[in-house]
Amino acid sequence: MINQDVLNYIRGQIALGVSRDVIKKSLSTGGWSEADMVEAFAAIDGIRMPPPPVPAPPPPPPIQPISSPVAQSSIQQRPVPGVSTISTAPVRRRSVWPWILLILLLIIVGLAAAIYFWYPSIVDKYFGTEAPPAPIVEQQPAPVQNNTTVNINVPVASSTGTTTTTTTTTTSTTTATTTR
């Protein structure tokens, strides 16, 4: 940390025109360390000194597992020539066949759909099995006639107290025509 008294002293000496070497000698005789002088001159010159690095905490000691004693087997192993004692299991990759089968199935379904929709038009186009279209004929519709006969039986009372039935027949003819 820079002492403000040292900074004021150095600024005053520089303003009077005293050289840096003379200022350093007078500060060292006054009991200031070389690091304090360098830091003070750097602050006056506008150079910022980086703060001293913070010491890193020491790493924790490694944890060693507690092992229980294991009985040694009495079987001795002999090395087999041509066989490695250290074996690594190969990384198992997924098979490609399910993807290939899925793609083939999609292609077959697509072709079946295309054949279903376009087969009749292809056969008709190249083999001519389609009959020529019938000509369109416009005809006037025939007039409709409606003959209706209605028999109405109406009882009629007479002044003598007897009832007689009168039958009336009505015939109507209706002719309707439609035009396009």
- From 86, 106, 129, give the residue that closes a domain: 129
- Positive or negative torsion for Cα 61, 63, 68, 72: negative
- The domain of 105 spans 98-129
The larger pLDDT score, comparing residue 44 to residue 144, is at: 44
Which pLDDT does position 67 carry in this prediction? Answer: 63
Question: Is 108 contained in some domain?
Answer: yes
Q: What pLDDT band is residue 151 in, cutting at 50, 70 and 90?
A: low
Question: Is 73 contained in some domain?
Answer: no
pTM of the model: 0.28
Domain count, the chain: 2
Residues 6+ apart with CB under 8 A from 150: 169, 170
Which pLDDT does position 136 carry in this prediction? Answer: 77
The larger pLDDT score, comparing residue 7 to residue 87, is at: 7
Which pLDDT does position 43 carry in this prediction? Answer: 81
Phi-psi region of 97 (alpha: psi -120 to 50; beta: other; left: phi over 0): alpha
Whole-number percent of the chain with pLDDT over 90? 9
Question: Is 118 contained in some domain?
Answer: yes
Question: Is 168 contained in some domain?
Answer: no
pLDDT at 159 over 80: no
DSSP letter, residue 85 = S
Question: Is 114 contained in some domain?
Answer: yes
Q: What pLDDT band is residue 113 in, cutting at 50, 70 and 90?
A: very high
The larger pLDDT score, comparing residue 85 to residue 5, is at: 5
Question: Is 88 contained in some domain?
Answer: no
Which pLDDT does position 24 carry in this prediction? Answer: 87
pLDDT at 147 over 70: no
Which pLDDT does position 2 carry in this prediction? Answer: 73
Question: Is 72 contained in some domain?
Answer: no
Which pLDDT does position 6 carry in this prediction? Answer: 82
Q: What is the pLDDT of residues 20-58, one digit of tens each?
A: 889 888 888 888 888 888 888 888 777 655 565 677 777
Question: Is 25 contained in some domain?
Answer: yes
